[in-house]
């Protein structure tokens, strides 16, 4: 390998990247640290395969987003030419959907099956819960959907689920004994509607390969070279499919970073990458450890964070970039003040450094945290967008027209039919729709099949005429597929359904916006039909598949580019910004309270923090509040343990009083993370010599005999002591039942209102 001559087209890679790109035979694992040029290596590795006369049709490349696949394909084209169009490249879901359309008959599905998004799936679950007369407060659609999704990711079908005593008992103990029956009914209704949800695209591909040896053999010999990006985020189902497909030639290359495995809640299993060498003992391993993205302060600080994890692959990330600014840590008294501080910092940096708004990102652990930052940015006239908010294709008017088009392609699509059968209004109310559903289920038909045989169901009474008109209209749309392209059908449907006219008649600002959105959708379909660079079929079915499989990273909210980006840390993976603010750095928020039950959960939270810090190119700021409103109450907060896990030489406390240089606590060695908050440097016996950040700031020294008092008799005039705020006098006590509050004037930090059941006060 080392003696191979380096082809000129690989000159732009560093030596490690070149070796990884040129090793094309046998199993390969590329461990790619943050900012190490992973996409570039993948791109040139595929180009190198094509230059070695490997047929593009024999290469399968699975990427994290469709956008990434498209960008890679264009880059590969610049090296090898038009042959790149023949690559099988895309996300797991888009590639497997393509296979399933080809092989649909083998598993009893129509080729033009519908792909249900999360909303469709949850609406179907709601219908089933209602039909089965269950309590919808107990059997919430979101809970059931997640339970079914988790089962599918672990290859547990609806038939298997009901046969598992452990699962059935677990549901019974949670008060949902009918979960197995709902899952079974859900699977039956999806099949009957010719629809698959996102998880079905994976599970049905696995079952197709498992149950049909000839199909497995076909794709094993088709995909002689397989590449999988973000391998640390694969689940059991994805792992099993890839293992089967690669079994013949074993030319499998996986790329990933165990330090960025953050999707266990979706079923991702970090063991897939940690144990890859056990499946392939002859494995070649390449490590991309040179970070090109961030300053050395950010790179080294991030390394000091992730070094606290025990479950990890060995690597040493480095950079030749400038040291850059230290990581700033902001402390705020409340979450609203935190929002103001961050907005002010963005404004100052933008003005001083002449940066666009798009250079800034605010990352948080949960979407609920966005409010205070939105308000602060609005007050300062700083434009922003919330990434992962309502996307273009999730807007009501867009989903309405798309539902018409889905029904044109697949008449058994129950959710699409229910959505548009009375929109625009045509005198078909909910009572009639319920009757249709009952008739369909009682006669083992789809709702469309009931419409096809209306004369057999006189019980529909006065609605018969409206139902017949709807059926006739849809029939005219369906017949157009034989001689019209996707755009011509969509334009005709938008007009003849009167959907476009009803929106045009609404002259409110909102109505005009909705009309313009539908016109934009029609433009998108026209662009799709005229795109000569896209080799796939230009059918309506393929267009609908493409938009159904857009990932969060592929979606655009249409708000323009020069805006501050706000998003959850999970959504930020794969992105980078010049200035990053990681906010809400508090215990029980980040790390999440849900992650404190096991080492595995805590280590994933730490990996999430690592992902957040490595998004920053030039400047990283961390912030926390010492109190935060939760459920209407002001709750005291403690700074996150993760801040203290960063080596102190990389930190700058932006608005802190000087603190003692030592804290008389020992690191909690048993739990795998430092709990000294000021003492733990990762080196035994070494304390920090400069002012440090501790959890209890600002505060007076807490009394050695501090013990929480019973505050049921607390009243104005009493002197008290708090673990963080020190000593103070009670000004007023407000009796709100179990949420009693006290206004206390502390000597160090002034007046604070505390909820007594959380406050932990010592009465002096």
CB 252 within 8 A of CB 279: no
Please state the φ and ψ torsions of residue 10, each to the nearest 5 degrees. Answer: -100, 10
| CA terminus-to-terminus distance, the chain | 74
Rounded CA-CA distance 752/273 in Å is 49
Rounded CA-CA distance 404/411 in Å is 10
Burial of 190 (C-beta count, 10 Å sphere; 0-12/13-18/19+) = buried
Nearest to 180 by CA among 172, 168, 197, 169: 168
Tokens of 172: 């019974």
Catalytic choice (120, 171, 197, 229)? 229
CB 428 within 8 A of CB 422: yes
CB 746 within 8 A of CB 725: yes
Rounded CA-CA distance 349/353 in Å is 6
- Residue labelled with tokens 């005229």: 530
The DSSP result for 706-742, as a single string, is: --PPP-TT--TT-EEEETTTEEEEEEEEE--GGG-EE
Catalytic choice (18, 19, 205, 260)? 260
Burial of 369 (C-beta count, 10 Å sphere; 0-12/13-18/19+) = buried
CB 223 within 8 A of CB 88: yes
Tokens of 276: 């890859």
**Residue 75 designated active-site:** no
Rounded CA-CA distance 63/607 in Å is 21
Nearest to 675 by CA among 691, 696, 651, 653: 696
**Residue 230 designated active-site:** yes
Rounded CA-CA distance 746/378 in Å is 33
> 325: which DSSP letter?
P
**Residue 753 designated active-site:** no
| 268 DSSP β-pair partners | 235
CB 573 within 8 A of CB 229: no
Catalytic choice (615, 628, 695, 741)? 615
Catalytic choice (16, 103, 120, 230)? 230
**Residue 137 designated active-site:** no
Please state the φ and ψ torsions of residue 124, each to the nearest 5 degrees. Answer: -65, -40
Tokens of 313: 């692959």
Rounded CA-CA distance 172/181 in Å is 12
Rounded CA-CA distance 670/568 in Å is 31
**Residue 38 designated active-site:** yes
**Residue 229 designated active-site:** yes
Catalytic choice (18, 19, 39, 91)? 39
| Helix/strand/coil for 596 | coil
Residues sharing a CB contact under 8 Å with residue 81, sequence separation 6 or more, in sequence order? none
Catalytic residue positions, numbered: 38-39, 229-230, 260, 615
């Amino acid at each position: 390998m080392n003696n191979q001559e380096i082809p000129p087209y690989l000159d732009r890679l560093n030596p490690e990247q070149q070796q990884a790109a040129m090793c094309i035979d046998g199993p390969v694992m590329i461990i790619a640290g943050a900012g190490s040029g992973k996409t570039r290596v993948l791109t040139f590795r595929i180009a190198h395969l094509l230059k070695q006369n490997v047929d593009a049709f024999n290469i399968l490349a699975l990427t994290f987003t469709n956008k990434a696949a498209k960008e890679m394909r264009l880059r590969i084209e610049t090296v090898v030419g038009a042959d790149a169009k023949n690559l099988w490249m895309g996300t797991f879901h888009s590639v497997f959907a393509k296979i399933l359309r080809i092989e649909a008959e083998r598993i009893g599905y129509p080729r033009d099956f519908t792909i249900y998004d999360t909303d469709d799936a949850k609406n179907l679950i709601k219908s089933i819960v209602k039909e089965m007369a269950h309590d919808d407060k107990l059997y919430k659609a979101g809970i059931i959907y997640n339970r079914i999704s988790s089962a599918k990711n672990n290859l547990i079908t609806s038939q298997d689920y009901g046969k598992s005593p452990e699962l059935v008992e677990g549901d019974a103990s949670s008060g949902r004994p009918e979960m197995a029956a709902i899952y079974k009914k859900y699977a039956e209704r999806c099949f009957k509607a010719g629809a698959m949800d996102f998880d079905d695209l994976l599970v049905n591909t696995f079952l197709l390969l498992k149950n049909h040896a000839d199909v497995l053999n076909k794709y094993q010999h088709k995909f002689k070279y397989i590449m999988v990006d973000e391998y640390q985020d694969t689940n059991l189902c994805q792992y099993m499919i890839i293992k089967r497909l690669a079994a013949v030639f074993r030319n499998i290359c996986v790329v990933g970073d165990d330090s960025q495995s953050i999707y266990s809640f979706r079923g991702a299993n970090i063991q897939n990458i940690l144990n890859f060498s056990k499946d392939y003992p002859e494995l070649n391993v390449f490590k991309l450890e040179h970070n090109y993205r961030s300053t050395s302060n950010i790179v080294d600080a991030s390394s000091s964070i992730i070094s606290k994890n025990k479950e990890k692959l060995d690597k040493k990330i480095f950079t030749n970039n400038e040291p850059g600014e230290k990581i700033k840590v902001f402390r705020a008294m409340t979450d609203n003040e935190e929002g103001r501080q961050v907005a002010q910092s963005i404004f100052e940096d933008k003005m001083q450094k002449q940066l666009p708004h798009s250079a800034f990102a605010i990352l948080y652990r949960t979407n609920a945290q966005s409010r205070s930052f939105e308000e602060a940015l609005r007050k300062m006239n700083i434009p922003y967008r919330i990434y992962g908010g309502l996307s273009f294709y999730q807007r009501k008017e867009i989903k309405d027209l798309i539902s018409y088009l889905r029904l044109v392609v697949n008449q058994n699509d129950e959710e699409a039919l229910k959505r548009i059968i009375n929109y625009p209004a045509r005198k078909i109310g909910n009572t009639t729709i319920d009757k249709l559903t009952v008739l369909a289920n009682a006669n083992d038909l789809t709702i469309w099949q009931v419409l096809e045989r209306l004369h057999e169901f006189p019980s529909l009474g006065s609605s018969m005429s409206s139902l017949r008109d709807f059926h006739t209209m849809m029939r005219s749309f369906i017949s157009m597929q034989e001689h019209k392209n996707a755009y011509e059908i969509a334009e005709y449907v938008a007009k003849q359904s009167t959907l476009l006219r009803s929106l045009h008649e609404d002259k409110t600002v909102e109505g005009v916006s909705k009309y313009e959105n539908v016109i934009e959708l029609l433009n998108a379909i026209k662009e799709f039909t005229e795109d000569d660079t896209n080799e796939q079929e230009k059918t309506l079915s393929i267009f609908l598949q493409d938009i159904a499989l857009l990932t969060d990273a592929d979606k655009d909210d249409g708000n323009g580019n020069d805006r501050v980006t706000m998003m959850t840390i999970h959504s930020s993976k794969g992105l980078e910004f010049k200035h990053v603010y990681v906010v809400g750095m508090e215990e029980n928020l980040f790390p999440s309270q849900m992650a404190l039950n096991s080492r595995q959960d805590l280590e994933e939270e730490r990996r999430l923090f690592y992902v957040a810090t490595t998004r920053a190119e030039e400047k990283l700021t961390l912030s926390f509040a010492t109190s935060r409103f939760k459920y209407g109450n002001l709750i005291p907060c403690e700074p996150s343990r993760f801040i203290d896990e960063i080596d102190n030489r990389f930190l700058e406390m932006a608005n802190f009083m000087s603190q003692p240089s030592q804290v008389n606590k020992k690191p909690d060695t048993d739990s795998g993370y430092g709990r000294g908050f000021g003492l733990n440097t990762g080196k035994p016996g070494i304390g920090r010599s400069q002012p440090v950040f501790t959890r209890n700031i600002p505060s007076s020294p807490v009394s050695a005999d501090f013990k929480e008092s019973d505050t049921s008799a607390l009243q104005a005039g009493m002197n008290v002591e708090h673990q963080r705020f020190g000593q103070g006098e009670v000004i007023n006590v407000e009796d709100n039942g179990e949420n009693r509050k006290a206004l206390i004037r502390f000597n160090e930090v002034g007046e604070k209102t505390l909820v007594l059941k959380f406050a932990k006060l010592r009465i002096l």
